[in-house]
């Protein structure tokens, strides 16, 4: 029989506790043998607010070894800047939606085809690209009006209707709205007063009849798209949300909520192996949103 010192036993117990407390949201998104890794990330004003964090973000992005990256809030970016960043994490193919306002962008290990940019009818705009036969939509819906978000999601679904019937589709990014899968986690009632205060601005309509709005993502789910992070939750799942993080930021930002998603249609949904919001000591201080990573076993 092997005997351990009290110091060794204490160390083993601490390690066990640390391991057991790491749920899906706290896992490090280490490179895997998956055939396709997709990463979606809202990077908060393109690091113009926290330029000293940019280097740490680039290092983190490189570590993930993603195949396709969909980014929101690339404020201040030019196509050349996105190309330079993407080259750092191994992506030679990039597209930036625009250079003003809140741009979105896609970077990829593989060539981008059938690129489509659409600003009409969208608050931030919409960018779509085909990568290895899969159509990727980089999403950034209106930040404060559920009616506009409803219009935007219907425009996206109209765009999808023009794709081949057997097309594989990924919708990923900052949807700025709530999932029916999370309704139980908002039963604390802390978000309604927060948004009611914001809705004192006549241009804002966060609440629908005084309540959180789930209709935008319900519309998407009714069109047979699957919320992958919700689908892959285990029995030990703990809700963390994807916004806000622990980054220092002026003002009140409300209770934790999930705003960032990856949705896919039927065939890709069957091939998802892992989908998680990555909440660790690094991501909590890089942006005001947390990234979402999905691994697929694609054919």
pLDDT at 17 over 50: no
Which single residue is written with the structure tokens 């109209």?
158
Q: Assign 37 a pLDDT band (cuts: 50, 70, 90).
A: very high
pLDDT in tens, 219-272: 999 999 999 999 999 999 999 899 999 999 988 999 999 999 999 999 999 999
Alpha-carbon distance values, 75 to 42, 44, 100, 125, 282 (Å):
11, 8, 7, 13, 21
Alpha-carbon distance values, 151 to 42, 64, 122 (Å):
21, 34, 8
pTM of the model: 0.89
Give me the pLDDT at residue 2, please: 42
Question: Average pLDDT of 261-287?
Answer: 97
Give me the pLDDT at residue 75, please: 98
Alpha-carbon distance values, 238 to 69, 183, 187, 207, 279 (Å):
25, 14, 15, 25, 11
Give yes or no for a contact between 105 and 80, defined as CB atoms under 8 angstroms apart: no
Question: Average pLDDT of 82-104?
Answer: 98
Nearest to 263, CA basis, from 272, 250, 254, 251: 272
What CA dihedral angle connects 102, 156, 35 and 131, to 10 degrees? -80
pLDDT at 118 over 60: yes
For residue 54, the tally of other CB atoms under 10 A from its CB is: 15
Q: How many angstroms separate the CA atoms of 292 and 276, rounded?
A: 6
Q: Assign 34 a pLDDT band (cuts: 50, 70, 90).
A: low
Q: Using H for helix, E for strand and C for coil, what is the string for 137-184?
A: EEEECCCCEHHHHHHHHHHHHHHHHCCCCCCEEEEEEECCCCCHHHHH
Supply 195's token pair. Answer: 């948004």
Candidate CATH numbers 3.40.50.2300, 3.10.129.10, 3.60.10.10, 3.40.50.1100; the one for domain 36-296: 3.60.10.10
Question: Average pLDDT of 22-38?
Answer: 59
Lowest-pLDDT choice from 11-20, 116-125, 217-226, 284-293: 11-20
Q: What is the separation, in whole angstroms, between the first and last Cα of the chain?
A: 50
Where are the chain's structural domains?
Answer: 36-296
Supply 66's token pair. Answer: 């993603």
Give yes or no for a contact between 97 and 67, defined as CB atoms under 8 angstroms apart: no
Q: In what order do the strands lie in the sheet with 104-108?
A: 93-96, 104-108, 68-72, 36-42, 292-296, 272-277
Q: How many angstroms separate the CA atoms of 115 and 200, rounded?
A: 39
Q: Assign 79 a pLDDT band (cuts: 50, 70, 90).
A: very high
Lowest-pLDDT choice from 10-19, 190-199, 203-212, 287-296: 10-19
Q: Assign 298 a pLDDT band (cuts: 50, 70, 90).
A: confident
pLDDT at 213 over 70: yes
Q: How many angstroms separate the CA atoms of 131 and 94, rounded?
A: 11
Give me the pLDDT at residue 12, please: 41
Rg over CA atoms, the chain: 20
pLDDT at 53 over 70: yes
Look up residue 232 and give its DSSP letter: T
What average pLDDT does the structure give for the chain?
A: 91
Question: Average pLDDT of 22-32?
Answer: 47
pLDDT at 129 over 70: yes
Give me the pLDDT at residue 18, please: 38
Lowest-pLDDT choice from 2-11, 102-111, 241-250, 261-270: 2-11
pLDDT in tens, 187-210: 999 999 999 999 999 999 999 999
More reliable by pLDDT, 256 or 2: 256
Alpha-carbon distance values, 54 to 46, 61, 106, 286 (Å):
9, 10, 18, 8
Q: Assign 8 a pLDDT band (cuts: 50, 70, 90).
A: very low
Give me the pLDDT at residue 11, please: 43
Give me the pLDDT at residue 33, please: 55
**3-state SS class at 215:** helix
Largest CA distance in the chain: 73
């Amino acid at each position: 029989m092997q005997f351990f010192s009290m110091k060794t036993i204490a160390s083993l117990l601490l390690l066990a506790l640390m391991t057991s407390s790491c749920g899906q949201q706290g896992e490090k998104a280490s490179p895997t043998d998956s055939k396709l890794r997709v990463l979606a990330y809202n990077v908060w004003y393109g690091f113009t607010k926290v330029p000293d964090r940019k280097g740490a973000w680039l290092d983190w992005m490189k570590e993930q070894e993603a195949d396709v990256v969909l980014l929101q809030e690339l404020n201040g970016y030019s196509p050349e800047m996105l190309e330079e960043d993407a080259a750092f994490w191994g992506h030679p193919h990039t597209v930036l939606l625009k250079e003003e306002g809140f741009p979105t962008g896609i970077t990829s290990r593989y060539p981008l085809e059938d690129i489509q940019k659409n600003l009409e009818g969208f608050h931030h705009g919409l960018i779509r690209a085909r990568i290895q036969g899969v159509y990727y939509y980089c999403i950034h819906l209106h930040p404060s009006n559920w009616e506009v978000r409803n219009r935007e999601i219907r425009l996206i679904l109209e765009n999808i209707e023009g794709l081949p019937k057997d097309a594989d589709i990924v919708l990923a990014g900052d949807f700025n709205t709530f999932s029916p899968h999370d309704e139980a986690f908002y039963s604390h009632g802390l978000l309604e007063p927060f948004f009611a205060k914001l809705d004192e601005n006549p241009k804002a309509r966060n609440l629908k009849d005084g309540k959180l709005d789930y209709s935008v993502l319900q519309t998407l789910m009714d069109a047979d798209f699957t919320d992958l992070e919700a689908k892959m939750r285990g029995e030990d799942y703990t809700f963390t949300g994807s916004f806000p993080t622990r980054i220092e930021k002026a003002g009140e930002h409300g209770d934790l909520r999930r705003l960032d998603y990856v949705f896919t249609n039927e065939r890709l949904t069957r091939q998802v192996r892992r989908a998680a919001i990555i909440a660790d000591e690094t991501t909590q201080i890089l942006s005001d949103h947390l990234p979402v990573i999905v691994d697929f076993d694609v054919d």
